[in-house]
Amino acid sequence: MIEVRNLTKHYEFGNVTTLKEINLTFEDGRFYVIADASRSGKKTLLNILSGIELPPARFSLTALRFIR
């Protein structure tokens, strides 16, 4: 299971907030679709979950839990 709690991602360059207080739970054995408007933060969310992009400094590592 993957849990995300209160994830907010703000880019200082351009003063843009792509994710604001995101709360998600992904359960094992399920398929999920992430869909929204263009430039809404889908890629940023997936990059943070996969480790490609670092989470915000104020984002607690315990807030993103990978549970087997």
Instruction: Quote the pTM value.
Output: 0.74
Q: For residue 14, what pLDDT is reported?
A: 80
Beta bridge partners of 2: 26, 66
CA distance 68 to 26: 12
Q: Containing domain of residue 45, as a range?
A: 2-66
Beta bridge partners of 4: 24, 64
Nearest in space to 32 (alpha carbons), one of 65, 1, 68: 1
Residue 49 near residue 59 (C-beta atoms within 8 A): no
CA distance 59 to 10: 11
Overall domain count for the chain: 1
Residue 31's CB is within 10 A of a number of other CB atoms, namely 5
Q: What confidence tens digit (pLDDT) does each residue in 19-67 have?
A: 888 898 888 889 999 999 998 889 999 998 888 887 776 655 455 566 5
